[in-house]
Each structure stands twice: as C-alpha cells, then as structure tokens.
Chain A
C-alpha cells in the first residue's frame, strides 16, 4: 500500500532534512496553493505526471513559471514528437497510491509502486532558497531547498536529475536526444548507476500499484498548466503479469474512436456531434464484461500452453532445457 505523509515526514526528520511545514485546506491547483503559502517566501512548483506511448511514467517538477513544452521534452527524451502526454487520473491513483488528485510531487517516488517513474527536476529549483512541494497529501505544503530534496532522493536510491526545461536543443542525427537516459528502463527498478547495466536490483517489483478503474465521481483537475493531448485512459502495464482489465480497457479505447470515425463517415454526422451522444464510458461499461471474459480465457489458454511447455521441458531436458543467460 502507499506511503503516508506521516511516514514521509518522519523519514525526512530521520534524515535530518530541514523543511518548513504549512498546513492548509485541500488545494487542487497551484493557484489555490499560492493563496495559502505564496507569502512565505518559498518558490511555488508545478508537478506534472506524464506518460509515454509505452506507458512509462515521468514526473516533471518545475518552478511554476518555467515553461514546459511537451513536444520539445518528448523529442529530448528520444520519444519523437508528441510522444508524451499528460497521464490520466487513473495513473495518478495507481502509481502514486494514496496521493490524492491534484497532488503530484517528487515525494511520490517514496512509494515502491513508483519505482519505475522517472523524475525530471527543473534546473531552476536549484536557484531558489526553498521550493514548495506536497508531501503526499494536498492539505500540507512543505518548503525545502533543492539540495535537501536531493538528500531525500538519494536516500531512496534515486539519482536527482536536473534539466534545463526551457532549453530546446535541436534533436537530429548528429544530436542525439539529450534526455534519453531519463527514460525508465522498463522491467527493472531504475538503477543508480548508468543505464547500460540494468542488472535486476531486487526481485521485480513486488508492491505494484493496484490497477484501479476510475471511481464514478472523479472530478479534480490535476495541478497542471499545460493542456496535454486528449488523455487516453490506458493504464500502466506493470511487470506484474498480464492484466485482463487493463488490456480490455486498452482495446476498447482503440476500437471506440475508430467506431465513432466510421459511424460519423457513414452516417454523415460530424464526429464532434457523435461524441456528444455516444460516450466512451457507456460503451466501456457495456462491452467490458464480454471483452474481459474473452480476454481472460485467452490469457488462460496462453498460460496453460506455457505451463505445459515448461513442465515437459523439465521432464525431457531437466535444468539443461533452460538457456543460460551468460
């Protein structure tokens, strides 16, 4: 389960990290947060949770004024143009566990479920005496210096990565994407050493985020300024085995826009009008039971085949049946 704010603050104290704590009513946006702590001298930050096409997640933590251009960021990460977008609210819940909506923060990496999330820190944070972040809850703000943030990150095995977010280097054949190292390497916990040696640190994540579907009354806007592209609702594929609900949801999200597009062409209705009438959520609700059932059986068939193959391999070839990795 997720870490609580109390656990985080206790850890900061254990590490003898100086921070100032401000309590206030729940805030969901930077503007609201500013109303309560704006006068205390620290620098407001905006924190974005981004997702790329391979469902990898990134937290970008920047000064509120820093311009973050998603297209440029995407290219610098080596994901092409438009390779990152705002992560949907489900990822927030899933990866950041008990962090409520509107509360993305670098401290979310305290959760084991977020170990594959890449953190990009705005260089500008270093220039401020102290910066404001939420400590896993949006009714508290803590102010601390970037070097203290680094101390915390190092203590949980993360290498702080500061980036000039406003730079826009040309990325091309002769200029490889400069932030490519910050793309999470998938199956393994992000290692502190360089990327070439992804030896699995411990076992693959055991505490994986619970896949959650949206609660019916999801409302809060994430604390962001950039409008991302239309957020697809596909969920993070954790390396915890194939998840039927996530797969079914992904499939429906692929099919539904295609269906709308076909229907709009054939019925001669504008697609915008159709989207008013036919809702993805209704479609998902109706289609999910059958699709999930079919998918589950497919997963069972695949597992069964693999299981028997493994069993027979052991019977016929013993341990020698497994290739060596060296």
Chain B
C-alpha cells in the first residue's frame, strides 16, 4: 500500500515523520507514544488482549503478546459485535512494487492469518497494482504481473481459501466498487487530500485520485457478490501504523455516506537489519531477509549486517552486557521466536553478558531459516490455477463459519 511522495508533516524540531510514504525517526528511534497521541488512536492494553484470548478461545498471537501490534481504533466495538454473535470481515493489502518480499512484508500477513483463524471471518486482500503503476516507472503489464507474483507469496502465508478473496485493482475496480470510490471522492476536497498525503501541484491527477481506491474495500457494499445485502458489516484492518492517515480519511468519510467506520489494529515498524533508524530498501538486499534467501544467505546477512547491541570485546561484553534497545537480533527474535519464556531467558542472559552476540545470532539464524524454509515449501506449491481460484469472484458459503 505504501509508495513514495514528499512528506508534508511540519518539520519543526526535526520531528519524526510518519505517513504512508515516509517513515523517518528522530534521534532515538520512533516515539510510538507520541505517534499514538498525534494520530489519536488507542493503545492496545493487556485487558484488550485478554479479551481477545477469551473470545477466540486460544492464546493471543505473539505479535500481540510482545506489543508489536500495539495500537487500534474501535477494536473494542469489533469485539463487542463478535461477542454478541455478529460478524465482521478483515481487509488488508499490499502494493506490489517488487517481486521479492522480505520478512517485514510478511508480518502483517502473518498477523492477519492469525486473526482469520482465531475469529473465523472472511478476508479481502487488495493488490494495488494501479498505485504502483502511478507512482513507479512500470508498465501496466508489469504491475499486473507483479501483483500476481506477490499473490503467490501471500497465498503461501496460509490463508483459508474458503474465506479469502484476493483481488487486484486493475482486475476488479468497476461496478459497486467504483460507485463507492466516487462517493468517497466527492467527500474529500483537494485541500484535504493534500494535507493528508502531501500532494503538490506538480503531481499528476492519477495520484491525487488514488486514495479512494484504498479506502473503499473497508465498505462491504464494494463487494456485492460476497457481502450482498450486508451493508452494515464492520471491517477490521490490520496494518502498519504509517497507513493510519489513509484510514483516518476513510473513517471521516464513512458516516457521511451512510457506512460504518472501519476499525484498525496497527503495528510498529519492522527494523532493517542495520538498525531501527535505517530504512529497509529493495535496492539494498542486505537490509532485510527475503523469502527467497537460502539458509546460507540468512546466516551471512545476520552475521555480517544485523546491528549488534553487544560490546566490542568478549571481556567487555561479559562485564557490561548488551544494549537490548538497539540490538537488531533481539528485535527480530521478539518478532519471530514463539516461546515467551525462552525469549526472556535469552534477553536476560544477553543483557547480563552471559550470552554472546554470536550465540544470539546463531539462534536467530535457526529461527529465521525455519520460517523461510516453511514459506518456500508452501510457495513452491502455488500454481497459476491456485492464484486464479483465490482471485475468482466466487461464492464463499463458509466464510462466516
């Protein structure tokens, strides 16, 4: 969903900047508390996580336990609805800008899969191939091709085909979906959209008219064949917090056109291997672990590039311990090591200098390799016919089962 455009947040005192096209931190990394305040969303507290666990009858996902998905809008209302026996649906998406996905891209999909399994609700996944065409120097054919390629990796994440619909904008926009786009467009002035997304007079009109495309999957009437007659069905959107501006706009418009506001559940950013303040970029393959990396690649990348919070020498390290705040391996383990107790033990030992950076990295390589191998195995099973099936506008009779 993200792309690149000049940011517009006031840069008063070298503030952090967070919007769909730019994320940059001030000194010391992103201040999430400030961000939550600034955006006006809510924090996900322990009580809410407990409630999720109770309602779904299973332990909460580690991304919730570890505070990686940490903010929300109206999640309480969704849970109230669910508790009463009513349903909702999930909406997430991806801007297919490159063939290679890295682990940071997988994070929202892994969490969305958990939500789908835990709540047993349908999911729509939007591939914004038109957005990539508008923002990048791609042909329409290339954008469409990338969308299908990315769909394969998304399918490999393990979504339930009986309740998942994947669509690409070039294929799907039209009909009721387009009607909603135009309804949204009529409610947002040029000034507003410049304010939210930072467009300039030099930007072409394709960019300026794009935002409604990403807004309307939040409304069930955009999918008449799937949710026919169920216009008030609520939508929950798992995404990274930089997408919040998009959905603030959507939530503002929704009541004005007679629709329900989408709810959001938002995550922190996934750090680049070189550290929190650096950007993961497709042009630097060493900034992230890709789902196509071999175990050897992973080992090399982690050992060479993962920023270490450990000390420079073994003696110093045993004495002072590691700085967990900046250590990237620990941050990655936080995301991907399932066992809470084991993670605590490692953090403690590393902080107190009893465990060395090399040992932590070795464990990380094992964890990541397992994950990437699993993904590769699944990805190898995805055929063009399977992509067709996921992207077909077909009945989903069991979607609320």
Which residues of the partner chain A approach B56 to less than 8 Å between Cβ atoms? 210, 212
* Interface pair A300/B59, CB less than 8 Å apart: no
A301-B386, A304-B383 known; A213 vs B374 contact (CB < 8 Å) = no
CB distance from A112 to the nearest CB of B (A): 10
- 8 A Cβ contacts from B71-88 to A: 82-85
- Mask of A293-310 contacts with B, CB within 8 angstroms, 1/0: 110111111011101100
Kindly state whether residue A240 has any CB partner on chain B within 8 Å: yes
In-complex Cβ contact of B392 among A294, A300, A307 (8 A): A307
CB distance from A261 to the nearest CB of B (A): 27
Kindly state whether residue A179 has any CB partner on chain B within 8 Å: no
Which residues of the partner chain A approach B386 to less than 8 Å between Cβ atoms? 300-301, 304
A-B contact count (CB 8 A): 80
- 8 A Cβ contacts from B334-376 to A: 338, 374-375
| C-alpha gap A216/B341 in the complex (Å) | 14
| C-alpha gap A174/B120 in the complex (Å) | 48
Which residues of the partner chain A approach B120 to less than 8 Å between Cβ atoms? 210-211
- 8 A Cβ contacts from A93-120 to B: 93
In-complex Cβ contact of B117 among A206, A245, A298, A307 (8 A): A245
Which residues of the partner chain A approach B328 to less than 8 Å between Cβ atoms? none
In-complex Cβ contact of B53 among A210, A215, A299 (8 A): A215
CB distance from B348 to the nearest CB of A (A): 22
In-complex Cβ contact of A216 among B59, B385, B388 (8 A): B59
| C-alpha gap A296/B386 in the complex (Å) | 12
* Interface pair B389/A308, CB less than 8 Å apart: yes
CB distance from A94 to the nearest CB of B (A): 8
Query: Most A CB atoms within 10 A — which of B82, B156, B377, B401?
Result: B401
Which residues of the partner chain A approach B382 to less than 8 Å between Cβ atoms? 297, 300
* Interface pair B374/A293, CB less than 8 Å apart: yes
Which residues of the partner chain B approach A93 to less than 8 Å between Cβ atoms? 57
- 8 A Cβ contacts from A263-314 to B: 285, 289-290, 292-294, 296-301, 303-305, 307-308, 311
* Interface pair B389/A296, CB less than 8 Å apart: no
- 8 A Cβ contacts from B209-260 to A: none
Which residues of the partner chain B approach A156 to less than 8 Å between Cβ atoms? none
CB distance from A55 to the nearest CB of B (A): 16
Which residues of the partner chain B approach A210 to less than 8 Å between Cβ atoms? 56-57, 120
Interface residue ranges, A against B (CB under 8 Å): 1, 93, 206-208, 210-213, 215-216, 238, 240-241, 244-245, 285, 289-290, 292-294, 296-301, 303-305, 307-308, 311
* Extra contacts besides A213-B58, A241-B401 (4): CB < 8 Å: A213-B57, A241-B398, A301-B381, A304-B389
Can you give 21 A-B contacts (C-beta < 8 A)?
A1-B83, A1-B85, A206-B400, A207-B85, A211-B120, A215-B58, A215-B59, A216-B59, A240-B398, A241-B162, A292-B158, A296-B158, A296-B378, A297-B156, A301-B386, A303-B162, A304-B161, A305-B385, A307-B388, A307-B392, A307-B394
